[in-house]
Amino acid sequence: MTVTTGWLVGQLPRTMAADPVLRTFVSAFEELADTVRERIDSVEHQMDPGLASPEMLQFLGFWLGIELEPTDPAEYRRSMVREVARLLGWRGTRYGVEALLEAATGARVTVTDVGGVYGRNDAVPPEDPVVVVQMDHTGHLTERQVLGFLQSELPLGAQVRLEVRFQPKVARGRARPVSGDSDG
């Protein structure tokens, strides 16, 4: 009968390896260490939004400052984590807000405000805390969700005026959702 030894048990001095209690004790640590090593070996894949598990994707979103809805399609959540990571240095700027909202909604977005960097000889416009955000539509988000997003992305004290160009039309007519009963 051949006895296999693990990598940690195999490093024990011969007299210690002969002790069954010590051998079992070290084997338990070996199993624990193998689990930790497996996790460390896979961490690069878990940090990749294209490969991360749903749980890790949720954590990455939280870490980057966005709340992902578990009910959204997986590819949408992966895309959002990628975009937020790509735009991290632009967060809070006009470009960053436009790009993130475009990624979240699929709509064309325009942000207008008086903020900016002005030189000593530049004419500085009068202070106006209102940021105007114009969108073609809100995608699958509600206006309330868009406003919540904007409040988290814009500077403290900024007021938002959201203008949605195309509102979804309420269905008219006699069409009704299909019911579960066969009577119609």
Per-residue pLDDT of 151-183, as tens digits, reads 888 888 889 999 999 876 554 544 444 444 444
| Percent of the chain whose predicted confidence (pLDDT) is above 70 | 85
Provide long-range contacts, Cβ within 8 A and 24+ apart, for 33-39: 33/8
**41-86: pLDDT as tens digits:** 666 667 788 888 888 888 898 888 888 888 888 899 999 999 999 9
The total number of residues shown for the chain amounts to: 184
| Closest to 132 measured CA to CA, from 144, 116, 150, 117 | 150
pLDDT for position 133: 96
**Six-digit token string for 6:** 């693990």
Match 């870490």 to its residue by tokens: 63
